[in-house]
A and B are shown apart, each in its own frame.
Chain A
Amino acid sequence: MIGAQLTGNLMQGLILGGIYGMATMGLSLIFGVLKVVNVGHGAFIMIGAFITLWIFTAFGLAPVIAIPVALIVGMAIGFVFFYLVMRRLIKAPELASLLATFAIGILLEEIAKLIFGSEFRGYNWAVGKIILPITVFPMSKIYAFIGSIAIALLLYIWFKKTRAGTAVRSVVEDSEGARVCGVNVGWVYALSFAIGIGLTVTSGVLLTMFIPVGINPYMGGGYTLKAFVIAVLGGLTSPYGAFFGGLIFGLIENGSYTLFALIPGVEAFAMTRFLSFLILLLILLIKPTGLLGAK
């Protein structure tokens, strides 16, 4: 009985994990290139969620349509904040960039509150479901999972096969060396920040396809913290590491929730979160290059 329940939850966890992973790729890309931790990460996810809600309720279009819209809006926001703020903070101490990204997050949350109000919203995109003996998958979750894998693959190809992708990788490796070899490092910074934000906003679309309720200006905070754990699992600087970190995190989150729920006298939800931060600390201490990273 518990075995079937665990297997079912792990399957759900794997799918959610794929979306978590995609939602963290932007954070890792920005840290890898700019060495800036985007503490306002969750606010960008929130923007993606509201874009989906808006496209679905105002135009009656499928949330999938929101993916390109979110990517374009996200990249535009990314360029704006890069040239207005982040460009000046790349060489500054961590203090400045941490506070600036946090403030950007607050600004976006407050703008969203001004426009949409602070009540929780949701939508219902019923496109059938797959019923297995142990669990049920709504098709929207499956589409979200496929979407996140496709985006991760596209990013991989872009990194490995295009000139711009190679330039970004060279800056991650050694920004001074890249500059010497004629890479326009300033442009790589701007492009990476914009793509990172674009990916994060897009992941907001996929996350609402998985969880279409609870859309609220302040929904991002929890995702920011999850993204930190996932990014650390993946070694912080690598977007694909983050994707696999997300898969692992999804499995751990759902698996441990099922197991903690069996223990009397504990709150399973909170213990799951505790476990994730314990993992974060252990990885940072033992293997800061991430689970998959090389020494």
Chain B
Amino acid sequence: MKGKIVKYYPLIPVYIAYLILFLIGINVSGMWQLVAMLAFYCAIGQAFNIFLGMTGYVDFGYVAFMGVGTYGMALSISHLHQVQWLGMGIIIIGLLLALVMASLLSIAVGAVALRLRGAYFAIATIGVNEGFRFLIEGAKIWGGSEGIIFSGQLTQTFGRETASLLSTLWADIFLFFIACIAAFITIYYMRGKIGYALTALREDEDAAKVMGINVTKYKIIAFITSASLAGLVGASAWALKLTYVFPPQVFEIHYTVECIIIVLLGGAGTLLGPVVGGLVYGLTKYWLTVIVPGFQLLIFAPIIIVIIVAFPEGIVGVLKRRFKGTTFKKFII
């Protein structure tokens, strides 16, 4: 029994970090926006890490899952707001729809793209992301290129006050919730059979196959898990918060790149990595926007290049080496 709990010790620093972040957000006035942004980056980093960090496959079309999640929530609110007795139920249905749509898309994409490796996989996933976006725009599915705007329906159903509270507070709190779940799933996978199988796969896929590991099964599990969490992030951080969906925005490749940066910065395949990466990335981005507005990318791009070249194992990777053999080791994975 004790062994089972020890397994989850590394969650402690992660949850403490989230708690501190949350407390700062609600107690210090004017900080909530920044805290919400950091929670978004941590949540999406952790969700992405479950696939990218554990398998080493680079899904360059990851934002598509956030995109369909956003659509899930948007469709629920815009179609079901007339059903009076549902009340808050439409938000729950929206989240479920986001979850289902993201996992369905990930099953479809996974069945196709996971046959490919390396750069071919990355290109295929970009293709899926762009193809899906242009299908929505071209065939005029779900409002086509005009997207769906549902702020009116939201205020109409819940009243002005509740609707604004949903966008400015509950959407962000839900992000913390997703981040916590993602952290738990990460450690659950890492310390279970799937984690060992994926480590073997990441090091040498052919060898793992020869050893009798069903690599396809574990790859798909990690892919679907990661995608479903992305769907939830999209449903809350984009749909509920912005109250509209606009295809060029929810399929924008820059968000995928942000996820990759967060995971790589913190340390791919570690539990703490995406949290550290999300905080460092979010704070740096915020800070650069404040001190050099309009030129943040000009300064950020070379920083990223230097990090990739100098610290490919990420911040947590470096820490792990530093604290090897000490008591802290238990908490840093």
Q: Which residues of A contact B297 (CB under 8 A)?
A: 106, 109-110
Q: Which residues of B contact A102 (CB under 8 A)?
A: 257
- Flag whether A277 is at the interface (Cβ < 8 A): yes
- Flag whether B205 is at the interface (Cβ < 8 A): no
Interface contacts (Cβ under 8 Å), in number, total 136
Contact A274 B135, beta carbon cutoff 8 Å: yes
Contact B123 A273, beta carbon cutoff 8 Å: no
Q: Which residues of A contact B127 (CB under 8 A)?
A: 228-229, 277, 280-281, 284
Say which residue of A98, A265, A281 sits within 8 Å of B60 (CB atoms). Answer: A98
Q: Which residues of A contact B308 (CB under 8 A)?
A: 85, 89, 92, 96, 99-100, 103
Contact B140 A103, beta carbon cutoff 8 Å: no
Min CB gap A34→B, angstroms: 11
For chain A, the bracket of interface size reads 35 or more
Residue of B nearest to A229 (CB): B127
Contact B130 A270, beta carbon cutoff 8 Å: no
- Flag whether B124 is at the interface (Cβ < 8 A): yes
Binds A, one of B70-78, B82-90, B260-268, B271-279: B260-268
Contact B264 A110, beta carbon cutoff 8 Å: no
- Flag whether A138 is at the interface (Cβ < 8 A): no
Contact A267 B140, beta carbon cutoff 8 Å: yes
Q: With A37-B122, A114-B295, A225-B130 given, is the CB distance from A266 to B140 under 8 Å?
A: yes
Contact B139 A228, beta carbon cutoff 8 Å: no
Contact B116 A284, beta carbon cutoff 8 Å: yes
Of the listed residues B138, B140, B264, the one surrounded by the most CB atoms of chain A closer than 10 A to its CB is B138
- Flag whether A181 is at the interface (Cβ < 8 A): no
B 56-68 binary contact with A (CB < 8 Å = 1; else 0) = 1010100000000
Residue of A nearest to B139 (CB): A266
Of the listed residues B119, B123, B144, B312, the one surrounded by the most CB atoms of chain A closer than 10 A to its CB is B123
Question: Which residues 100-143 of B sit at the A interface, judged by CB distance below 8 A?
Answer: 112-113, 115-116, 118-120, 122-124, 126-128, 130-131, 134-135, 137-140
A 259-276 binary contact with B (CB < 8 Å = 1; else 0) = 010000111111111100
Interface contacts beyond A39-B60, A107-B301, A277-B127: sample of 10 additional A-B pairs, CB < 8 Å, sorted by A: A93-B56, A99-B261, A110-B298, A236-B119, A265-B140, A267-B140, A267-B145, A281-B113, A285-B115, A288-B120
- Chain B: residues with CB nearer than 8 A to chain A? 52, 56, 58, 60, 112-113, 115-116, 118-120, 122-124, 126-128, 130-131, 134-135, 137-140, 144-145, 253, 257, 260-261, 264, 268, 295, 297-298, 300-302, 304-305, 308-309, 312
- Chain A: residues with CB nearer than 8 A to chain B? 31, 35-37, 39, 85, 88-89, 92-96, 98-100, 102-104, 106-107, 109-111, 113-114, 221, 225, 228-229, 232, 236, 260, 265-274, 277-278, 280-281, 284-285, 288
